[in-house]
Amino acid sequence: YHGWTYDLDDGRLVDVLTSPGSPVIGKIGIKVYPVQVAQGVVFVFIGDEEPHALSEDLPPGFLDEDTHLLGIRRTVQSNWRLGVENGFDTTHIFMHRNSPWVSGNRLAFPYGFVPADRDAMQVYDENWPKGVLDRLSENYMPVFEATLDGETVLSAELTGEEKKVAAQVSVWLPGVLKVDPFPDPTLIQYEFYVPISETQHEYFQVLQRKVEGPEDVKTFEVEFEERWRDDALHGFNDDDVWAREAQQEFYGERDGWSKEQLFPPDMCIVKWRTLASERGRGVRAARVEMS
């Protein structure tokens, strides 16, 4: 507005175009943040401590060099925690039962999962990155038939030829979901839930595929525009966006964090909450109250 010009390396005011030689030059500045570009994604470190290696804040495999990533970003009107827990919740998939993506792609997609035991999840809390891994294909019983008062009300008629997805679902500090594979056996989906305010978060949806060269990258880019963007990232995940925004009033205005009702499949949510509260970096009281 006044021609104040800053050095983006250190934030220092280096000149004032409308007032040459101004006494404020070199005496004030703006805050700058470390930036790193990896896999075509721009990462900004906004922590209140010294920056650490980017790999410590990303799920294993995200930075693999023989892969290519494509995705979309949108703003969701809910607290970021609702995003993380919505993505990691093993029984929220009941909401997706009528998704055209499931029926149109012959996926073996159950109505829910029942954990086999309390050790069904693996918690990585020693080194970085830290996360909770759910091996759904190994440690859970999928529910393909739903009954009400003893009568079958929903049944997935499987032929045995359906594609199997979401064998492993994990969530990593500071709040990144990994679904492997999804939405297709050739892809892995990552979801970043970045807080904006108490009632908003940025939702980044990223698909990853192994590639061997430029031709594979081009093929992936064409598929992404013609299929994955609209049919999967919107056609499937729009349900998740709706759910998070629908929960915001209960959790944000009606003290839902203390009034919620949990049941055994929520064990994964409890594991995540424990990890986040005990191992999250730079947690401050003000942040805890806000979230």
76-122 pLDDT, tens digit per residue, is 999 999 999 999 998 898 898 888 888 777 777 888 887 777 677 89
**Topology of domain 64-279, CATH:** Naphthalene 1,2-dioxygenase Alpha Subunit; Chain A, domain 1 (3.90.380)
CA distance 4 to 250: 45
196 C-beta neighbours (distance < 10 Å), count: 13
pLDDT-above-70 percentage for the chain: 96
- Give the domain ranges of the chain: 64-279
166: left (phi over 0), alpha (psi -120 to 50) or beta: left
Instruction: Write out the two tokens for 173.
Output: 């500090």
Buried (b) or exposed (e) across 70-104, using 16+ Cβ within 10 A?
bbbeeebebbbbbbbbbbbbbbbbeebbebebbee
pLDDT of residue 66 exceeding 90, the answer is yes
The whole-number average pLDDT for the span 210-225 is 98
Quick one: pLDDT at residue 283?
59
Confidence of residue 284 (pLDDT cuts 50, 70, 90): low
User: Sign of the C-alpha dihedral, residues 92, 98, 100, 102?
Assistant: positive
Q: Which helix (H) or strand (E) holds 247?
A: helix 238-253
Q: pLDDT tens digits for 12-62? A: 999 999 999 999 999 999 999 999 999 999 999 988 888 999 999 999 999
Closest CA to 93 of 237, 261, 208: 237
